[in-house]
Each structure stands twice: as structure tokens, then as C-alpha cells.
Amino acid sequence: MAGTNVSETDDATAPFGFDAIMHMQRPALAAMAEMNSRLYKYIAAVNKEWATFVNQRLKEDLAVSQQLAQCRTTQDLYQVYAQFFQSTVAQYQSGFEQMAKLTRAFAEQALQSSSGNSGPTRH
């Protein structure tokens, strides 16, 4: 017979039943739900941090054109560019450090929760 009918499928799970199978899987489902919750909080924190960083950079990028327009000498021009690039590098470094801290905190939390909820695995 090419197909499997419903009664044959039910016979395969009959000793356990759907409720028993769901009961056995409940800890795994709860752990997955907890992990998803943490993941969404992490994504929200990263998005907030990134949006703040981009907003700050855009403001400064737009402001530099006004500062350049006010330059009277080549020395003024060099000073504006030097200050702009120094602050840009410092802000990118700070932004990447913050992202790394968020990622590290999430990874440590994920490792702690996974190692705390399960025992040694036997194969």
C-alpha cells in the first residue's frame, strides 16, 4: 500500500498519546520560549543602540558641511576635518565596543541558561 492511513499513524503513537508526548516535550518548549524571549530582547537592545549611533553620526556628518562652509583658510579646513575624523573614529570604536558588550552578555546568558538547565549528554 502506497499511503499510510490515519489509523496506522494513530497506532504508532497510541501507547503514549498526544498528551503524554506534549508532556514529555514541555521542558524543551519552555526552554525554547525562554531563549526566544531573550533573543528578542537582545535584538531590541542592539537595534536601539544602532539607531542611536546612526542618528548621532548623521547629525555630525551633516554638521561638518556647515563647518566646512564657514572655513576661511586652509588651516581652518584641516582643523575641521581633523576634528571630524577624530570624533568619527572615537564614536565608531565606542559603538562597536557597546555592540560587542551586548553580544557578549547575550552569549554568556545563553551559555549559563543552557548549561544550567541540562545535565551531561550521553550518547
Task: Tell me the per-residue pLDDT of 86-107, one tens digit each, with 9 for 90 and over.
Answer: 999 999 999 999 999 988 988 8
Q: To which residue does cell 492511513 refer?
A: 5
What span, in angstroms and rounded, lies between the C-alpha atoms of 10 and 33? 28
pLDDT greater than 50 at residue 42: yes
Residue 28: count of CB within 10 angstroms of its CB: 11
Q: What is the average pLDDT value for the chain, to the nearest integer?
A: 82
Domain regions of the chain by residue span: 35-108
Name the amino acid, one letter, at 81. Answer: Y
pLDDT greater than 90 at residue 13: no
Radius of gyration of the chain (CA): 28
What span, in angstroms and rounded, lies between the C-alpha atoms of 1 and 7? 14
pLDDT of res. 111: 79
The answer to whether the pTM exceeds 0.75 is no
What span, in angstroms and rounded, lies between the C-alpha atoms of 74 and 72? 7
